[in-house]
Structure 1
Amino acid sequence: MTTGKEATLHQRILSDIESRIVSGDWPPGHRIPFELALAEQYDCSRMTVNKVLTQLARAGLIERRKRSGSFVTQPQAQSAVLEIHDIKSEILSLNLPYSHRIVKRAKRKGRPEDGRRLQFAGAVPVLEITCIHYAGQRPFCLEDRVINLNAVPEAEQVDFDELPPGPWLINQVPWSTAEHQIRAIPADSEAAANLDIAKGTACLVIERRTWSGLGPITHVRLTYPGDRHTLVARFTPSS
């Protein structure tokens, strides 16, 4: 039978290790101290430590390898291909804290590239936004977005520091059609710097356009380090 003291110690060890993983103090690939070392550190039995590590492994926070020890796992989010997914929800599903930072925000005249991205003939005023989404302290996704200000003029007055542009747009403008394009690319210098990865690292890129009755709303390019994201499609046979 587990005593109250053992239960309290179990929770303390669990909380200590979990907080180090979630904060990024122990990044993916970090080797957890061996059971014996943890038992000595907390002045407890190896059985208590083993139960803690087993619980962490079941939660997907660590991976236990025979004769090698326990290692912090690389969290991997899943999103549905056929849905407009929310990055914050992806990160929270990994039991990691979410935050975002606006790197660039500029209103400007539309360029030919914007016309191609928005699939709009002629020049339109756009709001260009670059945003980094964080899982804990690590960059999780780079968002590069243009918003058609003819369709959503109120976006010009929003700083997006409190709510990132994706969920703000969904709440603000009812969209009628969306298109996803998915590809794999090596990270260029800008993406590598923003995501804190090596240039050339394989990345998963999701590009999405949305339309409403007012025409094109936005085009967004979401870049994920390739080992941190999985796309899932669920569908049924057509009748």
Structure 2
Amino acid sequence: MKNALITGANKSIGFETARQLLAKGYFVFLGSRDLANGESALRQLKSEGYNNVEVVQLDVCDQASVDKAAASLKSKIDHLDVLINNAGISGGLPQNATETAIDRFKSVFETNLFGVIRITQALVDLLKAAPRPRIVNVSSSMASLTLNSDPSWQYYHHKGAAYLSSKTALNMFTLNLAYELRDTNFKVNAVDPGFIATDFNNHRGTGSVEEAGKRIVKYATLAEDGPTGRFFSEEYNPETWEIPW
């Protein structure tokens, strides 16, 4: 059986992604910062008939929590097929480049970038033990430097200095990770789930969590000839999905 870990999996997009991977026959570990929230999500999935699922207490901002979660996983499985780095925060708005406090930048980067690095490095050996490991870093079209510099883009005026910067940095980490693993069976990609209605954006999004989950699962389950080191957004480019960096 293939194994997957999803960070921030107790609600919204992470939870729906877990549900869709379970439906495909994966054993899914639900990473949740708050164990009670994770157990609530676990009960919901089990009530739907999904039994190959377990909750893991995981705060990506806490190295001790990451190390404990990694040790727990390594005691239970000998390989990890899929890592989905989904946990993220917006940092709240507004985020003006000239006024946003450094502490807010640090907080957003701690989750959106450093958290991804922590858990990826902690689990890379388990991933290397899988025959065709996949890493999906959940990004945003708002991280695209190309689009953000184009006045004709529909979201051109929607800026957020801390959040957007953190996701752009995440994209560069994705590129470096994919490059380092280029001669292996890894597939490492950044994926924009779309403008999805969740509590992350006060439910102002236009898409559903089901759509978002499907987009992420597509890259978590890539075939052997699938792409790596790329940036995808179905919302921006529904034909080829690829989006400019």
- TM-score bracket, normalised by the shorter chain, equals under 0.3
- Computing the radius of gyration from Cα coordinates, the structure with the larger value is 1
TM-score by length of 1: 0.23
Structure richer in helix, relative to its length: 2
Structure richer in strand, relative to its length: 1
* Larger RCO: 1 or 2 (CA < 8 Å, sep 6+): 2
TM-score by length of 2: 0.23
